[in-house]
Amino acid sequence: MAVRRIDESTPQYEALETTIDRKKIIQALSKLEVVSNEEGLIPAFNVFVNQMPAKFWNSFADRLTRKVGPDLIEAAEWLLVNAAHECGYHTGYGIITSEEWKSVVAPMITRIPEDILHGAFAVFTAWGWAKSEIVELIPNERMVVRAYDYYEADTVTYGIRSRPCAYMIRGVAAAFMDLAYGGPYDPTGQTGLRTFKCVQTKGIECGDEYGEFVVTRADEN
């Protein structure tokens, strides 16, 4: 197996250098209070937002994947990841074009799209999806994300799972790469979406210290 040495001239090293101040973004955006309108809806970022217990999403994914049986589990997992992939693509675009982004994150951006990606994971952290960051980034090719705390790991309260289950992070991580390198945003999702795919290689729910997510080109074997 070939070993790729990391030095300052490798793209993944350069792409990890960022002017994004994660701490500042998390401090600022974690205070944002989401409030529904008089109609009981939360229209924001060009989508309708909902604010529900994490347990709800976890329970459906867990019961579904436990019940479908071994022949269909991968198909069920793909559909759960896909839900997050589409969510991450459309809502992600809404976030990186929002007023909140323009006021807090945009002034920190010097390199596009890499700083946007780093900023997106800071927002992802601030809004409670997963305490996560990029640990490896080869522009337009590969990204590795680590999540040190995430609600999807709560499906285990004792012991460890045999299969990882952070379907939401998988989908959103791939979507963020779609937005960064998949071409112009397409509101129909016909192009741009699913140019990248993500596999989960480690999981807190599987006994690892953190979740790890590897995003690569969708056409790569």
Partner 1 sequence: MAMTKHTELVLDRRFDPKTCRHSINGQVQVLHCHHYATLYTQLANDCGMLDGKRLLAEVSEDTFYNILRDYYAANNISNIEDRISIAEQYFAISGLGKMTVRCASPESGEVELSTSHVDQGWIKKWGHKDQPVNFIGWGYISAMFSAVFDKPTRAYSVTETQSIVSGAETSRFEVVAI
Provide the binding-site residues for partner 1, judged by CB under 8 A. 26, 30-31, 33-36, 38-42, 45, 47-57, 59-60, 63-64, 67-68, 76, 79-80, 82-84, 86-87, 90-91, 125-131, 149, 151, 154
Q: Which is nearer to partner 1, 107 or 128 (CB)?
A: 128
Q: How far is the CB of 74 from partner 1 (least distance, A)?
A: 14
Q: How far is the CB of 44 from partner 1 (least distance, A)?
A: 9
CA distance 116 to 40: 32
Q: How far is the CB of 8 from partner 1 (least distance, A)?
A: 30
Q: How far is the CB of 131 from partner 1 (least distance, A)?
A: 4
Q: Which is nearer to partner 1, 15 or 20 (CB)?
A: 20
Q: Which is nearer to partner 1, 13 or 57 (CB)?
A: 57
Cα dist from 150 to 63, 114, 185, whole Å: 19, 23, 27
Q: Which is nearer to partner 1, 76 or 108 (CB)?
A: 76
Contact between 160 and 168 under an 8 Å Cβ cutoff? The reply is no
Element (H, E) at 28: helix 22-29
Q: How far is the CB of 94 from partner 1 (least distance, A)?
A: 8
Q: Which is nearer to partner 1, 15 or 204 (CB)?
A: 204
Angle between helices 54-67 and 73-96 (to 10 degrees): 150
Copy the structure tokens of residue 73.
């589990």
Closest C-alpha among 203, 75, 35, 43 to residue 214? 203
Contacts of 72 (CB under 8 A, 6+ apart): none
